[in-house]
Amino acid sequence: MELFEIVGGNRLKGAIEINGAKNSALPIMAASILVDGETVLRNVPDLADVRQMQVLLSRLGVKAQRDAEGALHLRVEDEMNAHAEYELVSKMRASVCVMGPLLAKRKRAQVSMPGGCAIGSRPIDLHIQGLRALGADFELVNGDVLLRAKKLKGADIFLGGPFGSSVTATANVMMTATLVEGRTVIASAACEPEITDLAEFLNACGARILGHGTPEITVEGVDGLTGTEHTVVADRIEAGTYMIAGAITNGDVELQGARLEHMQAVVDRLRRVGVIIERGEKGITVSSSRHLEPIDVTTQPYPGFPTDLQAQLMALLCLADGNSVITEKIFPDRFLHVGELNRMGAHLRKEGPTVIIEGVKRLVGAQLMASDLRASAALILAGLIAKGTTRIHRIYHIDRGYQHIEKKLAAVGANIRRLNE
C-alpha cells in the first residue's frame, strides 16, 4: 500500500491545472447507456472512480475506451445485462447512476443497494421514489433494488429530502425522463453545475430538458438519443481544494481552467477569512495575507457552501486567529478528519453536526489515517503547513477523486512524496 510523506512549511507558488469534474464525468458516463451510437467525452479525469465506472459499464455491455489523446469513447454493444452487482456497486456509490438509464432503455434495472459510507447515512429512497413516480415497479431482492417497467410515463415529482435536494437522485430521474413518454417536472431538483453539465450533454444527444441549474427541471420525453461529443466541466471541488492549499501555505497560485462562477459561496467564505481571490487570465488567482480571520460556515446544497470542501476549510480554520464554527447540514456525521487534525495539535470540539474550531499558532506533523476522499485531502493540506513530517496512510481514498495530487502540489513547491508502506 502507498502513503504520502509531507514535510511542511513551503509556500506554494505557480500554476495548477484543474481537471474535469469527477461528479460530472461519472453520471455522464452512466448516461451513455441511454444513447445510440458513439459518445466521445473529453476532459474526463484519470481517477480510480472513473476506471471503476468503466468496469461497471463494460459489464453492462458498454464499451468504454480512451484514445491516444485521452478522450473517452463509449458505445453500447449489448443490452442483455441490466444487473449492477454488489461487488461493483460496493466499491463506488456513484454506480447508482446506472439505475435510471437501465430502467429507461432496457425497461429493468437490478442494482445492489449501496451500503454504509464513511461520511454517514446515505439512503437512496429519493431515487426509488422518483423512478416509481415515472411508473416503475420496485422490489428489494437480496439487497438489490429491482425496478421494472412495461411503460413509463412523465409525471410531476417532488425530490426534496430531509437534507434538501439530492444530486444523484436528480440525475437518475432526469436521465430516465429523457426517454419517457410525456412531460416530467422535477421539483426541488439539485442545482449543482454537474447536473447542468449532464443536462447539456443529454440535450446535445437530442433530449429536451429545460430548467437545469434551477430547482425546477422540465423534461419532454423523446424516442431516442444519439451519440455526441462533450467536454466535461471543470472540477470546482478540486479547484477549491487547491485554493485552500494556496491559502494555508500563504502561497500564490493560479488555478488554470477553474470556473469562478461555480464557486461563489466558496470564494465568499475564503475572502472573509482574508484570502485574496481574483479572476486570472487562465482561471483564478489565489494569494493570502498571512492573517487568517475566523468565520462561521454552514454547508448547503448548491449554490451554498459545498459539503465536499468542509474538511479542507476546517484544516485552514485550525490556523485562524480566533474561534470558527462549521455546521455540516448535508452529512451531519462527516467528521472523520476531526480526530486526525487534533492529532496534529488542532483544537477541535464536535457537538452534533457542528465543530467549534479554536485557532492555534501551528500544527505539527504526525502519522495519519485517510478515511474518505475529502477528509484525506484536508489532511494533506494540514501536512503542507505543519511543522515537521506528516505521513498519511491508506491514500487510495485520495486517488479516487484527485488526479496526481502529489505531482501537482510538488510542481508548485510542496515537499510531498508518494511512498510504498
Residue 45, preceding bond cis, omega within 30 degrees? Answer: no
State the residue for C-alpha cell 474538511: 311
With b meaning 16 or more CB within 10 Å and e meaning fewer, what string describes 36-69? eeebebebbbebbbbebbbebbeebbbebeeeee
Question: Which one of the listed residues 97, 117, 191, 205 is annotated catalytic?
Answer: 117
Q: Give the shortest CB-252-to-ligand EPZ separation in angstroms.
A: 27
For strand 283-288 and strand 252-256, is the pairing parallel, antiparallel, or unpaired? Answer: antiparallel
Q: Specify the residue, 116 or 162, whose C-beta has the smaller distance to ligand EPZ.
A: 162
Q: Give the shortest CB-24-to-ligand EPZ separation in angstroms.
A: 8
Give the ranges where 90-217 is alpha helix by DSSP (H). Answer: 99-106, 125-133, 167-177, 193-204
Q: Specify the residue, 78 or 125, whose C-beta has the smaller distance to ligand EPZ.
A: 125
Footprint of ligand EPZ on this chain (CB under 6 A)? 23, 26, 94, 121-127, 161-163, 166-169, 307-308, 330-331, 373-374, 401
Q: Give the shortest CB-40-to-ligand EPZ separation in angstroms.
A: 22
Question: Is 117 designated active site?
Answer: yes
Q: Specify the residue, 252 or 333, whose C-beta has the smaller distance to ligand EPZ.
A: 333
Q: How far is CA 379 from the centre of its chain?
A: 18
Distance between terminal CA atoms of the chain? 6
Q: Give the shortest CB-274-to-ligand EPZ separation in angstroms.
A: 26
Mention every residue, 6+ apart, whose C-beta is less than 8 A from residue 357.
294, 314, 317, 318, 320, 323, 324, 325, 326, 346, 347, 348
For strand 354-358 and strand 323-327, is the pairing parallel, antiparallel, or unpaired? Answer: antiparallel
In the chain, the largest separation of any two C-alpha atoms, in whole Å, equals 64
Q: Specify the residue, 123 or 182, whose C-beta has the smaller distance to ligand EPZ.
A: 123
Q: Give the shortest CB-97-to-ligand EPZ separation in angstroms.
A: 7
Q: Which helix (H) or strand (E) holds 381?
A: helix 373-385
Q: Give the shortest CB-355-to-ligand EPZ separation in angstroms.
A: 17
Q: Specify the residue, 23 or 112, whose C-beta has the smaller distance to ligand EPZ.
A: 23
Rounded CA-CA distance 139/111 in Å is: 11
Cα distances (Å, whole numbers) of residue 231 to 19, 198, 280: 11, 11, 22
Residue 297's SS3 state is strand
Rounded CA-CA distance 178/198 in Å is: 12
Residue 80's SS3 state is coil
Q: Give the shortest CB-142-to-ligand EPZ separation in angstroms.
A: 20
Q: Give the shortest CB-126-to-ligand EPZ separation in angstroms.
A: 3
Rounded CA-CA distance 96/201 in Å is: 19
Rounded CA-CA distance 80/60 in Å is: 8
Q: Specify the residue, 124 or 341, whose C-beta has the smaller distance to ligand EPZ.
A: 124
- C-alpha cell recorded at residue 292: 487568517
Q: Specify the residue, 330 or 348, whose C-beta has the smaller distance to ligand EPZ.
A: 330
Q: Specify the residue, 254 or 372, whose C-beta has the smaller distance to ligand EPZ.
A: 372
Question: Which amino acids are annotated catalytic?
Answer: 117
